[in-house]
Structure formats: C-alpha cells, structure tokens
Amino acid sequence: MEKPTLPKGTRDFGPAVMAKRQFIFETIRNVFQKFGFQPLETPAMENLSTLTGKYGEEGDQLLFKILNSGDFLKDADAELLSTKSSKQITSSIAEKGLRYDLTVPFARFVVMNRNEITFPFKRYQIQPVWRADRPQKGRYREFYQCDADVVGTDSLLCEAEIILMITEAFKGLGIVDYTIKINHRGILSGIAETIGAKQNETSLFVAIDKLDKIGEEKVKEELRPKGFSEESLTTLFEILHVKGSNTNKSAFLQSRFDASESGQKGLRDLQEVFNLLKNYNASDNHVEFDVSLARGLSYYTGCIFEVKINNVAIGSVSGGGRYDNLTQAFGDKENLSGVGFSFGVDRIYDAMEELNLFPKGATATSKVLVCHLDDDSLYYGLGVLSALRAEGIASEIYPDNAKLKKQLDFANKKAIPYTIVIGPDEAQSGLLAFKNMDRGEQEKLPIERIIEKIKQP
C-alpha cells in the first residue's frame, strides 16, 4: 500500500509542537480578552462571491475553490466548458471557497447581523485560513491567524490599542527585538499626488513596499517602464529617504504635502496615534513610522501596520490596518469604518523556534506516572491515582502489566517528572516508593506526603 501523504503546504502538529502552539494561542487570546474583544468563529468555507474581488487580482488566484456537490458538470454551462478556460468555468462549477483571511468573513458577518450588533463592535477570531500559494519558508497553504478588529468607530484609539496589544502579546511571548511599522494610506496617496502619479497608485505602492528588500535602484527599474519620469522618481526618493525620529519624519512630510489633502489627513492621524500612545504612558520604542510601508491587501484606507521580528529571515508576523469601505462591499448602505490586525501564529512559531524563545516547561504532560508490579498493586494504584487527581495533579497509570523497566522508560520518554512505584510491600504498608526522575532519588512516603511534595516544588 502506498504511504499516505499530506496535501502540499499543510502539516500535522504533534503533541510537542502543539504545546508550543497553544502557548502562543493562549498568550494572544489573553491579550485580546484583556482589551475587551469578544470571540467569533465563522465557517471555513464562504460563498465564493463573498471572497472574490476583496483581495485584488492576485488574491483571487490564491483562493481555494470548492467543487459543487453532485454532478456538477451536468449543470455547468456547456458553452463555457467547451472553451476550456478554467477561469471562466470556475464560477459555474464552484460556488464555495475556503476563507483567505478573517477580516472579510468578519465584514460579511457584521453586515448580516447589523441589527443585533452593538457598535462599536470588538471581536477577535482565531482560526485557520487557506491560500493556494506555493509554499516556502514561513509560507503555508493552511495557517492560523489571530485577528482582532473593531468596527463602527473612526476613533484612532483603536489604532493606538492595536499597538498596545502587539506590544503586550510580544512581551508575553518573550519576543523583545521587533519593529512595529506604521504608515497611512493617505500618506501614500499624498506621495502619489506629490510626484504626479495619482493614476498609477497601485504599481507605485507595490514597488515602494519592496524598497527595503530590493533597494532603490530596483524600485526605479520597476517603475520606469510604468511611465514614471526621472523627475518624479527623484522626488519620490527625496521623500522616501526621510530619516530621523517619527516626529522628524512627520515634520518633513508636512512640508511636502502642502497640496495634498489626503497626505495631510494621513499625517494628522499618525500624529494623533503617537499622541494617544503617550497618554497611555506607553513607550513607542518599537514603533517606526515607515513611509515605504504599503501592504498588498487593497481594502485598507487609513493607518496600516506591519510587524517584523528582527534578525529572523521570516516575513511579517503581524499586519493590519483601517478599512473604511469593506462593509459597503457587502451592500451595506451606511459606511462602517473598521480597523484590525492579525497575528500569524505559524510564522511567530517559526521565529520563536529559530530564536529559541519557547519556555522550557512548555510541553504539557502528566506530573506523575503510577507504576505497578502486579494486578493487586495496579488496583491499589487506581486509588492513588484518584487521590492525586483529586488534588489537581495531572497523573496517569501505566495501563498494562509490564516490566518496571518499561514503565520507568515510558515516564522518561514522556518527560514525566515523578513516578510512584507500587508493589506488594507498598500496597501493604501504604508507604509508596516516590521517585524523582530527574535526580534519580527515591523515598518511601505515604500518599499525603507525596502530594505535599509535588505541590510545593
């Protein structure tokens, strides 16, 4: 028989990995809840019409589509089928798709439940998403996102709190060396206006987003064929080369944005966010105003964020921004402004693994293994087991009659720190052989004393 395999870009998570993953999930969940966000889950699959057109052309290509049930070809448009054009045919044989992110399903949920929701609505959502990407380092076809979004308020408090949540989550995870990059779509538009490239915004943003990766020359090479003049490129890089503190950068841009309404709006917003952070008594050590930050998802309209862990060759581990028109895309008449961000658990995991940041005792396992030498001691052991569990001590008993050697070996492999060996003598006297697996020390104690010992480290 052929060995089973996994679909490309997906993974199993064994117990050791799960312990670490859960540490990340719990840390993030606690932060979300502490900031007043409430949980939401949505289905893995959405109607394709919900998903398409929200992520730009590239995004649509990366959607996993689900074949219609039944004899889907019978109902398909025969004329379309004869064209053999997959793109065209898709819509007639697949009406569902796997979610690509959590923000769009959330917007769909908000519009569907408009009347039941009290605004501003703060929700968090921790679920997997799927992208039909080609996998590579830090990039999977199935991965978990942890989203927190607020919808129904323009307040820049939300942006400030996003920064606080990132800071707090990373503190909990033990990640110290990271950068929260922040920018504003208005500022990007301002730049486009200033260099006279308003018609060509998208290619401009895509190109400058790569600046720190490919460098100035390559960005210019990419833009020249798209109709950018040398003069506009020179101006562009005068702006992009802005250096210094966040305040310095703002001041410099202010001087260039005389003629740009949206540029000024962007600057005002950012300054307000910085100002709010001060009032929280929060340090903005990790926050960097990065004029070249653009981000791909097309639905952002205001502040945008991206978080990178330094000295690790993994893309961004978190990102987000404000989107003003997303609910409108689902036919909502009144505009609801939303802002949110997302942690990429899988990348955070990879980064923490690379930096050796997982706490040592993270693997969840029993504290005690009860070992036994014959049937009678096994029965006696069940009482011991119950006594341990009644005290909240995670414990298990070896289920088979096996050599003591094998039982101790089992404890060893599962990294269970204590064992209790029960034989005829122990069952008779009630003095149990309590063994510390690390030190190899063993003493005979009554169960009450053993419980005490385990509880006080």
Choose, by CB under 7 A, the member of 140, 228, 289, 299 that binds RNA.
140
**Considering the complex, what minimum distance in angstroms separates the CB of residue 317 from RNA?**
5
Could you tell me which residues are annotated as the binding site for L-histidine?
A: 101-103, 131, 145, 149, 295, 299-300
- Count of residues binding RNA (CB under 7 A)? 63
**Considering the complex, what minimum distance in angstroms separates the CB of residue 79 from RNA?**
24
Choose, by CB under 7 A, the member of 271, 316, 325, 365 that binds RNA.
316
186, 262 contact by CB (below 8 A): yes
Closer to RNA by Cβ: residue 97 or 344: 344
**Considering the complex, what minimum distance in angstroms separates the CB of residue 334 from RNA?**
26
Q: Which stretch binds RNA (CB under 7 A): 91-99, 261-269, 277-285, 436-444?
A: 436-444
**Considering the complex, what minimum distance in angstroms separates the CB of residue 423 from RNA?**
3
Choose, by CB under 7 A, the member of 183, 194, 260, 342 that binds RNA.
342
Residue from 121, 118, 144 nearest 40 by CA: 121
**Residue with structure tokens 């949920």?**
109
How many angstroms separate the CA atoms of 73 and 77, rounded?
8
How many angstroms separate the CA atoms of 242 and 248, rounded?
8
Choose, by CB under 7 A, the member of 5, 115, 285, 356 that binds RNA.
5
Which tokens is 336 given? 């609801």
**Considering the complex, what minimum distance in angstroms separates the CB of residue 203 from RNA?**
8
User: Which 387-416 residues touch RNA, going by CB under 7 A?
Assistant: 403-406, 408-409, 411-413
Strand-by-strand arrangement of the 441-445 sheet: 395-397, 368-372, 418-422, 432-436, 441-445
Q: What is the CA radius of gyration of the chain?
A: 28
**Considering the complex, what minimum distance in angstroms separates the CB of residue 337 from RNA?**
19
Choose, by CB under 7 A, the member of 15, 43, 424, 446 that binds RNA.
424
Question: What's 139's DSSP letter?
Answer: B
35, 66 contact by CB (below 8 A): no
How many angstroms separate the CA atoms of 38 and 151, rounded?
12
296, 56 contact by CB (below 8 A): yes
Query: Of how many residues is the chain composed?
Result: 457
Told to check if 340 binds RNA by CB under 7 A, we report no
Choose, by CB under 7 A, the member of 126, 295, 384, 450 that binds RNA.
295
Q: Which stretch binds RNA (CB under 7 A): 12-20, 226-234, 327-335, 429-437?
A: 429-437
Choose, by CB under 7 A, the member of 381, 435, 451, 454 that binds RNA.
435
Is residue 290 helix, strand or coil? coil
Told to check if 355 binds RNA by CB under 7 A, we report no
User: Which 199-258 residues touch RNA, going by CB under 7 A?
Assistant: 206, 209-210, 213-214
Please work out, in degrees rounded to the nearest 5, the angle formed at the alpha carbon of residue 114 by the alpha carbons of 109 and 120. 90
User: For residue 41, which amino acid is it?
Assistant: E
**Considering the complex, what minimum distance in angstroms separates the CB of residue 93 from RNA?**
16
Is residue 348 helix, strand or coil? helix
Residue from 322, 390, 377, 351 nearest 154 by CA: 322
The 116-135 site mask, x for binding RNA (CB under 7 A), equals ---------------x-xxx
The 370-389 site mask, x for binding RNA (CB under 7 A), equals ---x----------------
Exposure letters 119-141 (e unless 16+ CB within 10 A, then b)? ebbbbbbbbbbbbeeeeeebbbb
User: Which 11-70 residues touch RNA, going by CB under 7 A?
Assistant: 56, 58-59, 62
**Phi, psi (degrees; rounded to nearest 5) at 43:** -65, 155
**Considering the complex, what minimum distance in angstroms separates the CB of residue 275 from RNA?**
26
**Considering the complex, what minimum distance in angstroms separates the CB of residue 293 from RNA?**
11
Q: Is 7 exposed, middle or buried (0-12, 13-18, 19+ CB in 10 A)?
A: exposed
Told to check if 157 binds RNA by CB under 7 A, we report no
The full 3-state SS of 20-47, as one line of letters, equals HHHHHHHHHHHHHHHCCCEECCCCCEEE
Residues near RNA (CB under 7 A): 5-9, 56, 58-59, 62, 101, 131, 133-141, 143, 145, 206, 209-210, 213-214, 295-297, 306, 313, 315-319, 342, 344, 346-347, 373, 403-406, 408-409, 411-413, 421, 423-426, 433, 435, 437-440, 442
